[in-house]
Amino acid sequence: MNFENKNEKLKTQELMPMPEIKTEVNSGYFWYTFLQKANNLDWEQLNNKNNFSKQLDKYFNENKLDENLKQKWQSVIYEINNDEILFWFSLAINNPELENTVFEDCVKHKDLEKEKAELLFQEFKSVVDEFKEKYSNVWNLLKPHLNEDIEKRNNSNEEKEIIQDCLDYFKPYKETSDIQEVNYLPTNPLIKETKGNGFVSKNVGIIISNFENSNSKTHEFLHCIINPITEKLNLSEQEKKKIIQMADEKLIIDQNYGEHPESLLNENLIRVYCELIKENKKPINLEIFKNFIINLTEKEFTKLKSDNLNFFNEMKIVNLENLKSRIKEIYNRKIKNILGEKIYNLYQNFEKEKQNNPGLTFEDYFLENFKMILE
Nearest 5°: the CA angle 104, 107, 110 is: 120
In a shared domain, residues 207 and 306: no
Q: Are residues 46 and 194 in the same domain?
A: yes
pLDDT over 70 at 11, yes or no: no
Per-residue pLDDT tens over the stretch 269-304: 999 999 999 999 998 888 888 999 999 999 998 988
> Does residue 65 register a pLDDT over 60?
yes
43 pLDDT band, cuts 50/70/90, is confident
Say if residue 207 is in the same domain as residue 313. no
Inter-CA distances, 269 with 8, 345, 364, Å:
27, 11, 15
Residue 132 falls inside a structural domain: yes
Is 170 found in the same domain as 305?
Answer: no
Across 132-147, average pLDDT = 94
The beta-strand segments (E) located in 119-225 are: 181-184, 197-201, 204-208
| DSSP letters spanning 24-83 | ---HHHHHHHHHHHHH-TTGGG-TTTSHHHHHHHHHHHHSPPPHHHHHHHHHHHHHH--H
Share of residues in the chain with pLDDT > 70 (%): 93
Residue 11 or 101, more confident: 101
Query: What's the rounded Cα separation, in Å, for the pair 112 and 127?
Result: 21
In a domain, 352, yes or no: yes
Which DSSP symbol is given to 191? Answer: S
* Together in a domain, 270 and 196: no
244 and 116 within one domain: no
In whole numbers, what is the pLDDT of the chain averaged over residues?
Answer: 90
Residues 336-354, mean pLDDT to the nearest whole number: 94
Domain of residue 344 covers 232-282+337-374
Residue 3 lies in a domain: no
Question: C-alpha dihedral over 17, 181, 203, 185, to 10 degrees?
Answer: 140
Does a structural domain hold residue 350? yes
Q: Are residues 240 and 292 in the same domain?
A: no
Q: Is the pLDDT of residue 7 over 80?
A: no
pLDDT of residue 13: 87
* Residue 184 shares a structural domain with residue 302: no
* 134 domain-assigned: yes
Sign of CA dihedral 162, 167, 169, 175: positive
Would you say 166 and 190 are in contact if contact means Cβ atoms under 8 Å apart? no
Domain count for the chain, please give it.
3
Same structural domain, 116 and 83:
yes
| DSSP structure class, residue 216 | H
Determine, yes or no, domain membership for 224: no
Do residue 198 and residue 145 come from a single domain? yes
Percent of the chain's residues with pLDDT above 90? 69
Q: At what angle do helices 114-134 and 27-39 cross, to 10 degrees?
A: 80
Let me know if residue 1 belongs to a domain.
no
- Inform me whether the pLDDT recorded for 78 exceeds 80: yes
* Terminal-to-terminal C-alpha distance of the chain: 18
Which of 197, 219, 241 is the C-terminal boundary of a domain?
219
- Residue among 32, 139, 147 at smallest CA distance from 95: 32
Whether 123 and 152 map to the same domain: the answer is yes
pLDDT of amino acid 108: 86
Burial of residue 36 (number of CB atoms within 10 Å: 0-12, 13-18, 19+): middle
| Residue 333 confidence class, pLDDT cut points 50, 70, 90 | confident
Contacts of 331 (CB under 8 A, 6+ apart): 286, 289, 290
Residue 6 lies in a domain: no
For residues 238 and 276, state if they share a domain.
yes
